[in-house]
């Protein structure tokens, strides 16, 4: 009886063990089935579990890749280009200064000595050609205007005498000699009036200003210098205003003494504002014929082609001069470069039927072109490979989003 009970116990133990084994197999297979996600167009696919592999291919396989169709690429604004060979021109920066174009500058002075009655403009004010800048009372001008009045009155009297003698001569009453004398006096009075008017006109004064002389702007521009106040007595040799046309500035700099860069007349160059980092254009106008005695360098002057509100005389800038012609290297658009896991990568495109796979390939970068368009590729890519030239940042964002979702 005791042996029979022992056999029954072993039987039930074996049954329990068998049931546990079956349940373990079912649970294992079920968990493996759930771990395989369904793949759809445009979803992030996970390849591998280890990052930071030794080769570029292993790195690409160890990271996520994106698969998009043509419609999705259009929605994302993805554009492709081919890795090509070309120049990555690099420029060097040299100090320069903006100066006033003296060919477009006006110095305003008074033609007379006198007292300042009023000033109508402020320093830095924009003025138009012919606009009144100031009014000056000129004692000498009073005399000139008085002389004109006297000459005009003499002309009127001479004209009356001439008309009377002409009438008498026509009637045969007056002698020709009297008529001729009246005519000569009349003509002399006309000449006197014309001369007085010419003197006032040459001095820029009007006939009825009562000794007031107005200073007017000779051209459109900005009042860059002003040395005049109400009530002061000015002389004819004092400079009262300087008007500059700030939309026609010059760029002045010293050419480096080495032969790393070369410039020539009419060459278009670029310069950068130190305050805003904005890039502007200028054209070489003149190169000094003789080198500076102390530095042995040539002074260069260029005409600013892209005027802006921020550009002012005496502003320090950096002129960007291209060096010697660069050698042909592998290059991609700078916008294609992204940073993933601390590495510079370029998304390489691979077509497969109606879909395009995008893999982030790590690259070694060289120089960037001075215009910010190109980046030199020292290693990681080959000529002719298709890469994402526009929209790579969106691909990076989608990849990071996929990693975050996978992490949860």
* pLDDT tens-digit series, residues 173-232: 778 888 888 888 888 888 888 877 777 776 666 666 677 888 899 999 899 899 999 999
- pLDDT score at 41: 43
Given a cut of 50, whether residue 35 has pLDDT beyond it is: no
**Helical axes 176-202 vs 139-170, angle rounded to 10°:** 160
Average pLDDT score over residue span 98-121: 88
- pLDDT score at 372: 75
Contact 389, 79 (CB under 8 A): yes
State the DSSP H helix or E strand holding residue 121, giving kind and residue range, or none if neither. Answer: none
pLDDT digits (tens, 9 = 90+) for 130-145: 999 999 887 777 667 7
Of the chain, the percentage scoring pLDDT greater than 70 comes to: 78
Average pLDDT along the chain: 79
* Neighbouring C-alpha atoms within 13 Å toward the C-beta of 155: 16
Average pLDDT score over residue span 4-20: 68
Most confident of 54-58, 63-67, 93-97, 381-385: 381-385
| CATH fold of the domain at 44-90+327-407 | 2.40.420
- Pick among 3.30.160, 3.40.50, 1.10.287, 3.40.1660: CATH of 139-210: 1.10.287
- pLDDT score at 260: 62
Contact 363, 60 (CB under 8 A): no
Domain chopping of the chain, boundaries: 44-90+327-407, 139-210
Given a cut of 70, whether residue 151 has pLDDT beyond it is: yes
Average pLDDT score over residue span 351-378: 87
DSSP annotation of 46 reads P
Of the chain, the percentage scoring pLDDT greater than 90 comes to: 26
pTM, full prediction: 0.48
pLDDT digits (tens, 9 = 90+) for 279-310: 899 999 888 766 666 666 778 899 999 888 88
Alpha-carbon torsion (61, 62, 63, 67), positive or negative: positive
């Amino acid at each position: 009886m005791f042996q029979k009970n022992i056999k029954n116990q072993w039987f039930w133990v074996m049954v329990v063990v068998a049931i546990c084994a079956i349940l373990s197999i079912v649970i294992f297979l079920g968990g493996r089935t759930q771990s395989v996600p369904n793949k759809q167009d445009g979803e992030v696919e996970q390849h591998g579990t280890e990052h930071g592999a030794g080769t570029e291919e292993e790195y690409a396989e160890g990271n996520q890749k994106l698969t998009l169709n043509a419609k999705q690429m259009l929605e994302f604004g993805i554009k492709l280009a081919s890795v090509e060979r070309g120049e990555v021109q690099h420029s060097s920066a040299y100090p320069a200064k903006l100066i006033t174009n003296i060919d477009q500058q006006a110095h305003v002075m008074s033609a007379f000595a006198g007292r300042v009655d009023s000033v109508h403009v402020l320093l830095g004010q924009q003025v138009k050609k012919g606009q009144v800048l100031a009014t000056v009372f000129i004692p000498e001008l009073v005399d000139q205007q008085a002389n004109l009045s006297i000459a005009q009155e003499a002309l009127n009297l001479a004209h009356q005498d001439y008309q009377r003698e002409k009438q008498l001569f026509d009637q045969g009453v007056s002698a020709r000699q009297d008529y001729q004398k009246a005519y000569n006096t009349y003509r002399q009075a006309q000449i006197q009036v014309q001369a007085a008017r010419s003197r006032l006109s040459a001095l820029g004064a009007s006939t009825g200003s009562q000794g007031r002389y107005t200073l007017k702007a000779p051209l459109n521009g900005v009042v860059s210098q002003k040395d005049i106040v109400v009530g002061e007595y000015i002389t004819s040799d004092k400079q009262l205003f300087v008007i500059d046309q700030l939309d026609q500035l010059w760029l002045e700099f010293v050419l480096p003494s080495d032969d790393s860069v070369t410039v020539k007349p009419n060459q278009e160059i670029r310069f950068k504002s130190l305050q805003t980092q904005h890039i502007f254009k200028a054209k070489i106008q003149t190169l000094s014929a003789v080198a500076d005695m102390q530095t042995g360098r040539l002074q260069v002057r260029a005409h600013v082609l892209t005027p802006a509100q921020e550009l002012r005389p005496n502003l320090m800038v950096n002129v960007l001069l291209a060096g010697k012609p660069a050698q042909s290297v592998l290059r991609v658009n700078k916008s294609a470069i992204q940073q993933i896991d601390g590495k510079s990568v370029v998304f390489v495109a691979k077509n497969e039927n109606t879909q395009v796979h995008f893999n982030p390939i790590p690259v070694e970068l060289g120089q960037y072109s001075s215009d910010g368009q190109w980046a030199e590729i020292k290693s990681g890519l080959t000529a002719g490979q298709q890469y994402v030239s526009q929209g790579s940042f969106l691909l990076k964002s989608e990849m990071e989003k996929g990693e975050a979702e996978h992490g949860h």
